[in-house]
């Protein structure tokens, strides 16, 4: 798919289809008005006849419009002009793609960029529309198993001065989409293919593709010498050895000296171990590596855009299986930090893997650490499938993540880490137990992690409810690649808003 940005004389362009908008009630956009004049009122006549009034979801495909060179003209209902937002863009995009893909339309000129969106900001209009288009194409390819005929989209930017800003938005959008798609594809692989070794090999490939990325792989022996006994315990029941990838992205002309670390839970399969899960839906635990995949995707975005930052991504690959050498409920583990943990449930394995990673990364003296994990079923109970749980020990980091979340509509909601929760993970035989008392499970899990993150600003994203969708169109959502990408773009002072 090719994208172009230019100022077009709409009536003169040779293309398969020109797309212009109509607002409710019966109000032509600037581009529509322009074509109406060239066609001697052809469009307004159709509106007066009642063929379209601008309601969102409406459309009218026209052929042989007088004095218009394009093969077709698509009028698209855009709804209420004063209420035009990113949800309107998504609805309009779905509608347009449905109409276009029924016909073998290859090239279109999209003249909706003058719509009143986010204070008329062309940057955000382009970002939102490309994100919506790419998501539609992904659905057509993967769920409908169909090809997309469309192969080139030109955006009409009426004000020539805005073309360069629109180009920045296009570059950002395409890099984010590349990362998002890579994350989805990796997460969707079956667990017999995507095991910890496979995950680490994907990470190593990044260093071959991008010269601003270096990768170190920590294997089981190195984990032993580092004393990562909680991480190692989780992997003990599996034939597949654990691998932890350390992906170092070093930007040029770094403007923000902060060391940012992104950690992804990479359980390529979580059976629950000896505390085995019920078999219904157990297959979905192949998605227990979606945190690692999101970190992988976000690094691809950073490397593509050459962000002026220093980022370290950790993919914590591991498999949780029952077996003769598996760890058990009752075991007491000594974590890399020296703190001990009483295992009361081997299915609460994510926090065991992560607590050793959170200690390991102290060696990089990080300023900001964000971990991304499908950590608790309790988070799904608390927030459902549309909102990611956010926990943090730093207000500025929370505000920055919330801002990026609002910009991308990749929703998060903060849950508390009050001291009161700490008693829930008390143990009388170790420093902590690995589970709480069954209440506030998302918080007690985060509270457990927070015991290992005191040396830096830290946020934890529990993506258990948001990382994938179930059912006939099952698959990874790639979340929170968009949120993390926006967070990094903001740190690079790149965003135009
Ligand atoms: N990977 C799961 C969390 C999960 C469950 C994510 C369902 C998405 C959907 C995690 O390792 C886990 O099993 N957590 C347990 C913790 C419990 C034993 C305290 C859970 O949530 O049931
Ligand atoms: Mg588990
Ligand atoms: Zn898990």
pLDDT at 199: 98
What average pLDDT score do residues 367-385 get?
98
Continuous H helices in 227-376: 229-235, 290-305, 350-360
* Range scoring the smallest mean pLDDT among 109-113, 189-193, 355-359, 451-455: 109-113
**Cα of 490 from ligand 1 centre, angstroms:** 32
So what's the pLDDT on residue 116? 65
The domain defined by 176-492 folds into: Aminopeptidase (3.40.630)
270 known ligand binder: yes
284-290 mean pLDDT: 98
**According to the CATH classification, is domain 2-156 in 3.40.220.10?**
yes
Q: What is the pLDDT of residue 256?
A: 85
Is 349 annotated to bind a ligand? Reply is yes
134, 135, 286, 351: which is the annotated catalytic residue?
Answer: 351
Residue of 106, 139, 277, 411 marked active site: 277
Nearest to 175 by CA among 301, 5, 311: 301
β-pair type (27-28, 17-24): antiparallel
User: Residues of the chain with pLDDT > 90: what percent?
Assistant: 91
**Average model confidence (pLDDT) for the chain?**
96
* pLDDT for res 104: 85
Residues with CB under 6 A from ligand 1: 270, 288, 345, 347-350, 374-378, 380, 435, 441, 464
Q: What is the pLDDT of residue 136?
A: 93
Can 351 be counted among the known catalytic residues?
Answer: yes
What's the mean pLDDT in 106-114? 89
Which pLDDT does position 495 carry in this prediction? 56
Ligand 1: residue whose CA is nearest its atom 13? 347
Return the ligand 1 atom nearest residue 265 CA.
1
CATH 3.40.220.10-classified regions of the chain: 2-156
Query: Which stretch of 15-29, 131-145, 184-198 has the lowest confidence by average pLDDT?
Result: 131-145
CA of 98 to the centre of ligand 1 (A): 38
147 among annotated binding-site residues: no
Location of each CATH 3.40.630.10 domain in the chain: 176-492
Instruction: Give, as one character, the DSSP assignment of residue 307.
Output: -
pLDDT value for 403: 98
pLDDT at 496: 53
Please give the number of the atom of ligand 1 that sits closest to the Cα of 434: 19
**Phi, psi dihedrals of residue 243, rounded to the nearest 5°:** -140, 135
* ∠ Cα 196 197 200 (to 5°): 90
Question: Over the stretch 153-197, which tens digit does the pLDDT of each residue have?
Answer: 999 999 999 999 999 999 999 999 999 999 999 999 999 999 999
User: Is 16 labelled as part of a ligand binding site?
Assistant: no
Extended strands (E) in 64-125: 72-80, 107-110
**What mean pLDDT comes out for the span 460-465?**
99
pLDDT tens column, 333-343: 999 999 999 99
* pLDDT at residue 497, rounded to an integer: 45
pLDDT of 291 > 80? The answer is: yes
Q: Atom 3 (ligand 1): residue with closest C-alpha? A: 376
Q: Do residues 248 and 309 lie in contact, with contact meaning Cβ atoms separated by under 8 Å?
A: no
Of the candidates 401, 375, 383, the one whose C-alpha atom is nearest the C-alpha of residue 457 is 401
CA-wise closest residue to 340 among 431, 426, 429, 427 = 431
DSSP single-letter state for residue 342: E
């Amino acid at each position: 798919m090719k994208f172009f940005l230019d100022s077009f004389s709409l009536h003169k362009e040779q293309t398969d289809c020109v797309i212009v908008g109509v607002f409710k009630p019966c109000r032509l956009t600037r581009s529509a008005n322009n074509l109406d004049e060239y066609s001697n009122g052809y469009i307004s006549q159709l509106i007066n006849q009642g063929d379209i009034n601008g309601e969102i979801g409406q459309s009218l495909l026209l052929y042989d419009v007088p004095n218009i060179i394009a093969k077709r003209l698509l009028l698209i209902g855009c709804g209420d002009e004063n209420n035009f937002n990113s949800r309107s863009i998504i609805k309009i995009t779905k509608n347009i793609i449905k109409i276009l893909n029924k016909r073998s339309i290859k090239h279109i000129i999209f003249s909706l960029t003058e719509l009143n969106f986010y204070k008329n900001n062309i940057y955000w209009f382009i970002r939102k529309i490309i994100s919506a288009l790419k998501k539609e194409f992904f659905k057509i390819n993967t769920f409908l198993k169909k090809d997309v005929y469309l192969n080139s989209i030109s955006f009409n930017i009426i004000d020539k001065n805005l073309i360069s800003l629109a180009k920045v938005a296009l570059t950002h959008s395409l890099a984010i989409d590349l990362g998002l798609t890579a994350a989805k594809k990796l997460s969707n692989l079956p667990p017999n293919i995507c095991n910890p070794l496979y995950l680490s090999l994907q990470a190593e490939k990044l260093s071959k593709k991008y010269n601003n990325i270096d990768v170190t792989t920590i294997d089981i022996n190195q984990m032993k010498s580092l004393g990562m006994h909680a991480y190692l315990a989780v992997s003990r029941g599996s034939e597949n050895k654990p691998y932890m990838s350390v992906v170092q992205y070093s930007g040029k002309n770094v403007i923000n000296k902060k060391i940012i670390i992104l950690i992804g839970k990479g359980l390529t399969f979580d059976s629950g171990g000896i505390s085995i899960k019920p078999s219904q839906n157990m297959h979905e635990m192949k998605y227990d590596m979606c945190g690692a995949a999101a970190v992988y995707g976000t690094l691809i975005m950073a490397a593509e855009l050459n962000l002026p930052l220093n980022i370290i991504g950790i993919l914590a690959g591991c498999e949780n299986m029952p077996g003769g050498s598996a760890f058990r409920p009752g075991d007491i583990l000594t974590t890399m930090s020296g703190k001990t943990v009483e295992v009361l449930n081997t299915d609460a394995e994510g926090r065991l893997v992560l607590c050793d990673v959170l200690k390991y990364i102290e060696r990089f003296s990080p300023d900001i650490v964000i971990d991304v994990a499908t950590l608790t079923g309790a988070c799904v109970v608390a927030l459902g499938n549309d909102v990611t749980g956010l926990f943090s020990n730093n207000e500025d980091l929370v505000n920055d993540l919330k801002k990026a979340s609002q910009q991308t509509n990749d929703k998060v909601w903060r849950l508390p880490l009050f001291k009161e929760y700490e008693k829930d993970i008390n143990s009388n035989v170790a420093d902590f137990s690995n589970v709480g008392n069954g209440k506030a499970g998302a918080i007690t899990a985060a509270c457990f992690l927070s015991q290992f993150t005191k040396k830096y600003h830290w946020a934890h994203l529990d993506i258990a409810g948001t990382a994938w969708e179930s059912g006939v169109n099952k698959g990874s959502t790639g979340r929170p690649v968009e949120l993390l990408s926006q967070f990094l773009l903001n740190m690079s002072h790149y965003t135009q808003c």
